Chain A
Amino acid sequence: MKVNEIPQDNIRTLGSLKKAVYALDENGQYQRAPTTGWEVEEIVLLDALADYDRKAEEARQKVLDRQSSPIAYFMYMRRMDTVTLAQAMGLFRWQVKRHMKPHIFRKLDAARLQQYADLFRIPVEALTRFEEEN
């Protein structure tokens, strides 16, 4: 890749961030130069994010239908699956899966709810008052 071939596609997933890449200048010498991103990165990242959004929306419906708890919804909103969520919470996978059952979720104590809220970077009410807010 030459410096003048470095993609400058201003991709929106990078925001205002510029990345640095290595490329050849006109004398065949490697230089470090900034890039505003490559369309390819944007396509694959947006595709992955769309999949999380789809799963989050399915989870939201299930919460409203009383088949799941808000934890499932926020897990996908924050781009996690049950393995990542369990690890980030310091729990076993079966525990977080259990917390996604509405009747178990209702019995979670305040400390545990706060721990989830902190991880999801949301106020705890977003979990406890999910139905009213959605």
Chain B
Amino acid sequence: MNDPRVFQHRHYAHCESGAVAALLSHHGLNLSEPMVFGLAGGLTFAYLPFIKINGMPLMSYRMLPKSIIRNVQKRLGIRFESKTYRNKGEALDDLRRFINSGQVVGLMTSVYWLPYFPPEMRFQFNAHNLIVYGEEGGEFLVSDPVFDHAVRIRPEDLQNARFAKGTLSPKGYLYYPAVVPTEIDLKTAIPAAIRKTVKMMLHGPLIFGLRGVSFMANRIENLQGRKDSRYIRLFLGHVVRMQEEIGTGGGGFRFIYAAFLQEAADILQMPSLQEASVKMTEAGDRWRQFALACAKAIKNKEGGMDLPGIAGLLRDSAAAEKEVYLLLKKAGL
């Protein structure tokens, strides 16, 4: 099943959907990144107050790491081979064996240990996906989906990145598509994937889906009671970083999903999906306005922050997004 072509680096918005799209097209199945993201049900919202990152609650605009790899298999009948390792040496030997036999592989890594990232971005984030497609002059050739050009890494740095400890520790996680069908039934897979996302966003409990967005809006409004303005600033900044930093495509993955809906409208010949795509773009724009308001509040250190106003923008985003899901629900998928 191996394709003898040289691997071609492509630039994507998100690491996991990008890595999966790149690996699949290397194996002859051309799916766009938004299609991979949408089919895998990548979109979500969750506000998880009990999971703390540097003292802040976790909010996620997309599903958990590895879920795209898992769900494209379920939806499309693709099969990925994946491995984790206890032994670092074995993981490195295995990687070389794959590379030498012409297999291009995806790896889970920690950004903290990737020297080619800008220093400001090297936090302990353990679920970054990259592709290794060769070894040359003592370095591995890396196609990092969120970089606009291919990069290189020394084996010792890659080893550290693959075996970082902590939350979501990758444990050397390696994957590649083992079975890729030449024909896939998008006309069945797309509606099923959309239905699942709509259900979760509309009916997810309390802290999930659109209820989760309201929950976060209330939390932001309640920050008013806090005397510590630094905490408020850091909290708002944290939300925006989750929404806009590396690998979201802007607007917390909403634009990627809008692109998916547009492609789906074409494939299924359903104008209502194009309408949903337009509305999702509007929702993404509102999320960006919310981010902008947060940044302004942070920058304007001394002035009072209009927290109810910021929470209101968030509720606007949720309301705009709700229209998308109601439309999709009515579309009769």
Residues of A within 8 A of B (CB): 1, 6, 12-15, 17-24, 28-30, 32, 34-35, 38-41, 43-45, 47-49, 51, 78-81, 83-84, 87-90
Contacts and interface: CB of A to CB of B under 8 A. Distances in A.
A71 to B, nearest CB: 16
Nearest to A91: B165
Nearest to B237: A44
Which of A19, A35, A38, A45 has the largest count of B CB atoms less than 10 A from its CB? A19
Given A19-B13, A45-B121, 20 more contacts: A1-B251, A17-B147, A20-B13, A21-B249, A21-B255, A22-B258, A29-B262, A30-B255, A32-B12, A34-B11, A38-B244, A40-B292, A40-B295, A41-B244, A47-B298, A48-B237, A79-B124, A83-B54, A84-B53, A87-B167
A133 to B, nearest CB: 20
Interface string B245-263: 1100111000110110011
Given A14-B118, A40-B295, A88-B165, A22 B249 contact: yes
A8 to B, nearest CB: 13
Interface in B172-206: none
B228 to A, nearest CB: 12
Contact of B55 (A14, A19, A44, A81): A81
Contact of B259 (A6, A30, A39, A88): A30
B234 interface: yes
A90 B169 CA distance: 11
A35 B112 CA distance: 23
Interface string B279-318: 0010011001001101100110000000000000000000
A45 B255 contact: no
Which of A21, A29, A89 has the largest count of B CB atoms less than 10 A from its CB? A21
Interface in B10-29: 11-13
B54 A81 contact: yes
A43 B295 contact: yes
Contacts of A15: 118-120
A76 B101 CA distance: 43
28 contacts: A1-B251, A1-B255, A1-B281, A17-B118, A17-B148, A19-B146, A20-B12, A21-B13, A21-B250, A22-B256, A22-B258, A30-B259, A32-B11, A40-B240, A40-B294, A41-B240, A41-B245, A43-B237, A44-B237, A44-B295, A47-B233, A51-B234, A79-B122, A79-B123, A83-B54, A84-B54, A87-B165, A88-B124
B230 interface: yes
B41 interface: no
Nearest to B145: A20
Which of A20, A51, A84, A88 has the largest count of B CB atoms less than 10 A from its CB? A20
A14 B117 CA distance: 8
Which secondary structure characterizes the binding site on chain B?
A: helix
A19 B244 CA distance: 11
Which secondary structure characterizes the binding site on chain A?
A: mixed
B17 to A, nearest CB: 11
Nearest to B144: A17
B74 interface: no
Contacts of B164: 88
B9 interface: no
A89 B241 CA distance: 25
Interface string B229-245: 01001101110110011
Nearest to A84: B124
A19 B255 CA distance: 14
Nearest to B278: A28
Contacts of A45: 120-121, 237, 241, 245
Contacts of A51: 230, 234
B332 interface: no
B298 A43 contact: yes
Interface in B119-141: 119-124
A22 B237 contact: no
Contacts of B262: 29-30
B246 A19 contact: yes
Given A19-B146, A40-B295, A84 B166 contact: yes
Contact of A22 (B34, B120, B166): B34
